[in-house]
Amino acid sequence: MTDRVIAVINQKGGTGKTTLALNLAAGLARRAATAIADADPQRSISQWVAMGGNEDALPRVTQVGDSAAAAIFHLKKNHRYVVVDCPPAVQGAAIEEIMASADRVLIPVLPSPLDLWASVEMAALVNAAQKKNGALQAWLVLNQVETRNALSRVMQQAVAEFDVPLLQASIQRRAAYRSAAVEGVSVYALGSRGLQAVADIEAIIEEVLRQ
C-alpha cells in the first residue's frame, strides 16, 4: 500500500503544520486506522490531542525522536495512515529520515511570496529526498488564504519557480481552526461551526489520496 505516511513539513515556523497535521489525521481516521507521529520537540500536537475531551475520537499520538524511521515503520504495521507533524527546522537527520519514510509530503505555506521564498531550502531537501525515495510525492499547500480569488501574479510566479507543485485545494483563514486548537479537538468535532473548515480538509485529503 502506498500513500500511507504523510509528513507535514516546513522549516519556517507558524505556517500551519500542526493545524494541517491534526485535522488531516482526524479526516483520515474517519476513513481507516490512523496514527499521528509527533516529531516536533515542542510537542504541540501531543498537547492538542491530550487537551481534548472524548467528543472527538482523535488518533493516538506517538512521540518520535532520533529514530523516527523505526517508529514510523512500527506504526505502519497497525495503521492505514500515519501523519507526521514535523518541527520548524531543517536539522538534517530527523527530517531527512522522515522524508525517506514518507510517501507524501505536504508543505503548508502562507500565501505571500516572502513566506514561500523562506521555504526554498525545503524544496531543495524534498528534491534531494525524491532522488533516493522515488515514490515520494510532495506539494505546497496554501494556508490562511483570505479569499477564493485567484492568486496574485507575484504569488503565481513565486509558485512557478518552485520545484514542488502546488496542491489545488487550499486552507482558508477561518476562526474554526483556532477554536479547534483551543478546544483540543479537530474541526470535524465543531459541528456547524466547522463545516467550511471540514470542506477544506476533505478537499485536501481527496486530492492527496487521488494521486
Ligand X SMILES: Nc1ncnc2c1ncn2[C@@H]1O[C@H](COP(=O)(O)OP(=O)(O)OP(=O)(O)O)[C@@H](O)[C@H]1O
How would you class 126 by CB atoms within 10 Å of its CB: exposed for 0-12, middle for 13-18, buried for 19 or more? buried
Question: Residue 9, interface with ligand X (CB under 6 A)?
Answer: no
State which of positions 33-52 bind Mg ion (CB under 5 A): 44
Could you tell me the three cell numbers for 53? 475531551
- CB nearer ligand X, residue 34 or residue 170: 170
Q: Letter for the amino acid at 122?
A: M
Q: Report what 178 binds from Mg ion, ligand X, none; CB cut-off 5-8 Å by kind.
A: ligand X
Q: Which long-range contacts (CB under 8 A, 24 or more apart) does 41-45 make?
A: 41/65, 41/87, 42/87, 44/18, 44/85, 45/18, 45/21, 45/85
Q: List the x/- string, 11-40, binding to ligand X by CB under 6 A.
A: --xxxxxxx--------------------x
Quick one: which of 64, 136, 181, 189 contacts ligand X (CB under 6 A)? Answer: 181
State which of positions 131-160 bind ligand X (CB under 6 A): 143-144
Chain residues in the site for Mg ion (CB under 5 A): 17-18, 44
